[in-house]
Amino acid sequence: SGSITGLLSALCDCSLSGVSWKRRALGGVSREGFHRALKKRAYSALLSKLFQDGTKGSPSRPSAAANTPPRNKVLMMCFDLRLAGCREEAEALEDQLERLPEGASSGLKEVDSVLELLVSLAGSAPPPSTSF
Amino acid sequence: MASATNTNLNAVRETMDVLLEISRLLNTGLDMESLSICVRLCEQGINPEALSAVIKELRKASETLKMF
C-alpha cells in the first residue's frame, strides 16, 4: 500500500526479516503480536519527534545545522573522513554525491529529504563483520 | 507518453542506485527494500529526522527480540 500506515507497516516487516518464529512461537511470541508492538513503537517515535519539533525554540532562529542543505552535510562528512585518513571512502562519497541528480531530474519529489534521512542514519548500523 | 514514463522510470532507478550507494558508504544499515519504503514515506511528507527516529526505534525493538 502507498499510504503512510501501509508503508510504516512494511517498514516493520523489513525489521522482522531474518527472525525465526518457530522457536519464538513456543515461548508465546507470535509474529503478529510482535508486529503490532513494533507498529506501536514506530508511531510513538514518529509522533514524539513531530511534537518535539513543534515546540522546539523559536522558528525565527533555527539552528545552523537545520539550515545546512543535506548535500553540504554530506560534503562535511567527506571532509571528516579525509581528516580520519579514509581518503578512498571520502572520494567515493563525493563521486556519488556528484552523480545524484537534483530536483525534478532525479525522478523523485523529495530527493533532498531522503539525503537528509541518510545523513541522520549515518553510522547507525553495526560495522560489517570481518570473516576469518 | 510511454517514452516520458520510461524516461522517468530510468531516472528514478538511477537515483535509487546512487542513494543506495550513498547509504552503504554512510553505513546507514538500509537495504534497497527499506530504502524504497523510506523514499516513499519522504514523498508522503514524513519528516526525515522523525523517520530516522522510527528506524532506530524499530532496530532497537527487533534487536531485543533477536536476543531471546
What ipTM, to 2 d.p.? Answer: 0.91
DSSP A104: G
C-alpha cell at B5: 514514463
- Is B26 near chain A, with CB under 8 Å? yes
DSSP A18: T
Chain A contact set for B55 (CB, 8 A): 11, 121, 124
Q: How many CB contacts within 8 angstroms connect chain A with chain B?
A: 171
Question: Which residue from B18, B21, B55 is facing A121, i.e. has the nearest CB?
Answer: B55
Answer yes or no: are the C-beta atoms of A122 and B28 closer than 8 Å. Answer: yes
Please give the model's pTM, rounded to 2 decimal places.
Answer: 0.86
Query: Above 90 in pLDDT, residue A67?
Result: no
pLDDT tens, position by position, A69-84: 999 999 999 999 999 9
